[in-house]
Each structure stands twice: as structure tokens, then as C-alpha cells.
Chain A
Amino acid sequence: MKTGRPIAQSRRMLSNRLMLVACLGATTIAVLVLSALLITIAIEGTGALSWSFLTSFASRKPAQAGILAPLMGSVWVCAICAVVAIPVGIGTAIYLEEYARRSRLKSLIQLNISNLSGVPSIVYGILALVAFVRFFGIRSADDPWTFGNAESIFYLQIPFGPSVIAGGLTLALVVLPIMIIASQEALRAVPQSLRQAALALGSTQWQVVWHVTLPAALPTIMTGAILSMSRAIGEAAPLLVIGGFLLVFQTPTNLMSDFTVLPLQIYNWAGRPQTDFHQIAAAAIIVQLIVLLAFNSIAIIIRQKLQRPLQS
């Protein structure tokens, strides 16, 4: 008994130590993985990175290939995605948080949104292929409804075919659940007392939302919006399904233009056996990561600058 105690004690101390070592080890793995990833890409890619890489089109010769078309394609598709997904996401969040009463229907809609966020992005691609690209087969692509003239950037044909607008709407489907959930969390964080104060002064429900709740929640909503967009700009699978082109030699000029995006171009180059193409794939990845880093920094700045405590 006398000697038993210190042994049990030391065993407990040992397991205590082991736990810390295991946790530290796991954390080190996470950090090492990120460093290995960044170093690999930097070693492979920096040699191929140049101004002409940013300003020329794809080519069969890796030394002359550039990413102008996918870069501009990403900008167009992402802009369309933002214009659709951000307002719809905020609107849905406002309805669910500020208008809807507690009911079975509301919890069903809520469950549906969390389910949508779990749907693989490639499945959204299939929906988009049938709905946007082919318009459910209601109208043939050879004989489309046409709106506007071909010079205008808002030139539109239905069915859309594999065009910039189809790509943007596809990404909007993918990020909408993320956008809704982020906005809901932002609205939920606004103290109830602010709403009550405005209501007590005789505001209508929409006046409370527009002048009080929404401004208070806006910084958090914007952070969510930027994070949604950085998800959209990295998506390749659904665009591949709707027929995003792998080789495009022009930048988009209107909503009906052909397009490719950076992740698709990276996929195309990375999938080839020649190591020369791996180098330009890595260079394109560097550009993609810089864009993402810029997005994230903006989100962080907004979070820090605009987020004032709401409770005084």
C-alpha cells in the first residue's frame, strides 16, 4: 500500500504527459502539412510565374501558356454568383430570423438548408446542367429565346448553354446555404433590446430590420459573404459538369460567353503527365491562393474594423 501509491501517481502523471504529447503531435502535423503544401507549390510554381503568364491565353506549349482567360472567367462567374447569392441569402436569413414564427414549417426549412449545405457540389452541377444549361429541355439550344443584342454585356439566350451566367448561377446554388447560415448567425447575434427599442418607438417590422437589425449585423454578414465567395472561387466540380470549357482563348464579353475558371485550368494542367505542365499548374495555384488570401484579409479587416460591441 505504501509503495502502491507513488506508482499509481507516476502512472497518472505519465498518462497526463502522454496526452499533452499526443495533442502537440497532432497540432504539429496540421502545421507541417500546411507548410509542406505551401513549400511544394512555391518550389514548383515560382519559376513559371511572370507578367506574361497573367496576360496570355492557354497554349499547347507550357512555356507560352498563361491564365488570362481563366482569371477573367473566375472574375465574371464570381461576380454573377455574388449578385445572386448574397441578396437571396440575406433575404432568406431575414425571413427566417425576423419574420417566421416558430412552426413545423420553419424548422423544416431550417433542416432543409442544413441538408443543402451537405449536398456534394457535383450534384448541384447536375441540377444546373438540366435547369440552366438545358432549361429542362423545354426549348432547344438551336432555337433559343433571345434577349438584347449580342454587343450588350446583358445579351441573353434561354437556354443558357454552358455560358458565364450558367456558371455564376451554378456557384450561387452551391454557396447559397453557406450564405444563409452565416447571415442567420449574424442576425441572431444582434441583441433583442435593439429591436424592442425600435418597436417601442413605433417602427414597423421592416423599419426595424432595415434601420436597426441589418446595419448592426452587416459586418458579420459581409464576412460571411466574403467567405462564401472564396468558396465559390475555388469550386471546380459543378462547373466541370455544366461543361465549363478547359481550353478557352478569349475573355468573356457578355453573359453568354464561353468561360473557364482558375480551378478548372489548374485541374487541366495538373492532370497532364508532363512536369512542365505541373509547373504552370503550380504557378496558377499561387495566383489562386493570392486571390484567396486577399479575400480572407478583407474579411479579417472588416471583422476587426467594423465590429463594435453591441451591448453598451
Chain B
Amino acid sequence: MTSIAARNAAEISQRGRLRSAAFQGFFEGSIKVVLTALTLLSVLTTIAIIAVLIEETIGFFTMSDHPEISIWSFFTGTEWSPLLGAKPLFGVLPLISGTLLVTAIAGIFAMPVGLLTAVFLSEYASPRTRTILKSVLEVLAGVPTVVYGFFALTFITPYLLQPLSTSFGTYNAMGAGIAVGIMILPIVCSLSEDALRAVPQSLRDGAYALGATKSDVTAKVVIPAGLSGVVAAFLLALTRAIGETMIVALAAGGLAHLTANPSQQVQTMTAYMVQIFLGDAPAAGVEYRSSYAVAFTLFLITFIMTWTGAIILKRYREEYE
């Protein structure tokens, strides 16, 4: 590789003599300008997302024919019925609670299973087993989320949940939550494993030398040492769960109400947006515009979670030499 670099460099310096220095300078300069412009595209995307969401959300809160809608009533209202009844009600709490219920179920499934699998991969598995299991996880990570929605609808609910209790309907928060949990499992697992493997071997050896068993080493040394990475992995996975759309649109149902009962159907923020954008609500109508306010709420929640994850990683990372 080094020899290729050397040969290339020699070739370049020969070619360079043919070009004038002025052209070279201009060329280098314009490349830098182009690259800077490309980088600014990602900044522009963020600005555009925030601007579009704020502008459309303001439009929703200031609709002249719906003076009853205010930011206060939106964030504290406990009823969300934009399409039913003579007077639509826009209180976002039922959508938030639906989202949190599904996310909580997903987290309760994926966090322990993912972390323990990560421990197995990093502390117990032989290199061969590790390679095989990693590829299983890679397959799981690559499956489109709509497939998990189908799985929830045709397997999890009818074959796992409904035999347990007849209270589970075709659409329920539990089935969707488990499917979302399966979706985020590879994220929890591979990111936690990275964090655990980054813990230096000398820490483990030190604990073993003091007579610790393998479980002591894992639970009292390795996991605490890699904790910031594990917590960041959990946060990232939960952020993905909150923003997940196709699974909940297929399997969670479409009824927005405040409930913590996982056998009932719930509507999440994302599922409501799907309902609106698929339906024939007029683009200037109040239901259609409400979806922008919901999207803004969703964006704020995920933004805060990603930010927190980044801060945790930065501030609490244990650095080892």
C-alpha cells in the first residue's frame, strides 16, 4: 500500500510540473469550495427541517376558524379526536402516551435481551460463534420495518399474545411494542458490545487476580466501565423506537386514547401522521395541519434524546490508556 502511495505521489509530481502553479492554486481552491458547499448541505437540512416544522406549526396554532386551538390546550389536552364529532379536539397527550407505551414495551424487551446478548458476544462467545451471531444480528438490522409490522400482525399477536389472553385484539400496543423491540434489538446489541469490548483487558485481569468469578468481572467491572456507551446505546435505540412508523401503523391500531393497557389498541404520533397523509383530508384543513404540530413534537422529543446521548458519551466516557 505504501509503495502505491509513493508511486502515485511520484507520478503526481511529474504531472504537476506541466500545470502552472496558478492553475493548481485555482483548482485546489475550487475543490475546497465545492467540499465546503457539500458539507453545508447537511447544516442546511437541519435548518430547513426546523424552519418548515416551525412555520407549519405556527400555521396550525393560528388558524382563524379554530381559535380554540392553543399551544397550552395542545400540550395539556387529554383528548385527541380530530376526525370524529362536530368539534375536533386536539390534545396531544393521548398520542404521546401511545408512543411512550409502545416504546416502553420495546425497551423492556430489547434492553435486557440486547445487553445480555452483548455480554455473551463480548465476554463468553468464541470468535467463531461471535461471527455467526453477528451476522444473525446484521440480518435482523437490515430487515425493513414494514416486515416487522407484518410479523406483529400475523405471528406475534395471533400466536403469542392471543393464546395468553383473549383481551388482545387484532391491533394492540403489546404486539407492536414487541415488534419495535425486535427492530431495535440489533442496535442495542451491537452498540453495547462495542462499548463492552472497548473496556481494556487489564481491568478484567486485575479483577480475576483478586479472585473474582466471571460473573463478578462482568457485572462489577466490565459493565460499569462501559456504562456510558451502554446508556448511549439504549438512548439511541429508544429514539429509533419513538420515531418508528411502519410497525405501529400496521399493528398498533388507530385509536388515540390515554391508556397504559398493552392489550388495547393505541395510536402513536407517527401512526397519526400516516393516517393523515394517507387519508383524503384537505391540505388546508385543520386535521392535515395538526400533523405538522405532531411532527414538531416528535422532532423535539427525538432531538432532546439524541442530544442527551451525545452529552452522556462525551462527559461520562471513561478513557483508558
Contacts and interface: CB of A to CB of B under 8 A. Distances in A.
A7 interface: no
A13 interface: yes
A115 B46 CA distance: 9
A7 to B, nearest CB: 15
B249 interface: yes
Contacts of A22: 116
B164 interface: no
A26 B41 contact: no
A127 B307 contact: no
Interface stretch (A48-56, A143-151, A173-181): A173-181
A183 B159 CA distance: 43
A127 B45 contact: yes
Contacts of A164: none
A216 interface: yes
A88 B39 CA distance: 8
Contacts of A96: 39
Interface stretch (A58-66, A152-160, A199-207, A247-255): A199-207
27 contacts: A16-B215, A19-B218, A20-B215, A24-B124, A26-B114, A30-B136, A34-B139, A36-B151, A44-B154, A91-B39, A92-B42, A95-B38, A109-B39, A111-B310, A123-B53, A126-B273, A203-B12, A207-B9, A240-B245, A240-B278, A241-B273, A266-B146, A270-B154, A278-B154, A288-B144, A296-B138, A296-B139
A118 interface: yes
A297 to B, nearest CB: 11
Nearest to B301: A120
A79 interface: no
Q: Secondary structure of the B side of the interface?
A: helix
B275 to A, nearest CB: 11
Contacts of A243: 277
A25 interface: yes
A266 B309 CA distance: 34
B52 interface: yes
A240 B116 contact: no
B303 A115 contact: yes
Contact of A194 (B2, B182, B295, B302): B2
A72 interface: no
Interface in A107-155: 109, 111-127, 129-131
Which of B46, B142, B146, B215 lies at the interface centre, i.e. has the most chain A CB atoms within 10 A of its CB? B146
Contacts of A205: 28
A236 B273 CA distance: 13
Given A12-B216, A240-B278, 16 more contacts: A20-B215, A26-B113, A41-B151, A44-B154, A111-B310, A115-B310, A118-B305, A120-B298, A123-B302, A126-B53, A127-B49, A201-B6, A206-B27, A211-B12, A234-B142, A263-B144
Interface string B28-42: 100110111011011
A235 interface: yes
B276 to A, nearest CB: 9
Contacts of A94: 35
B274 interface: yes
B292 A126 contact: yes
B260 interface: no
A304 interface: no
A121 B146 contact: no
Interface in B120-170: 120-121, 123-124, 133, 136-140, 142-151, 153-155
Nearest to B41: A88
A118 B140 contact: no
B147 A289 contact: yes
Given A88-B38, A236-B144, A115 B307 contact: yes
Nearest to A278: B154
Interface in A70-113: 87-88, 91-92, 94-96, 99-100, 109, 111-113
Contacts of B138: 296
B16 to A, nearest CB: 7
A281 interface: yes
B281 interface: no
A270 B150 contact: yes
A48 to B, nearest CB: 14
A293 to B, nearest CB: 8
Contacts of A309: 1
B109 to A, nearest CB: 9
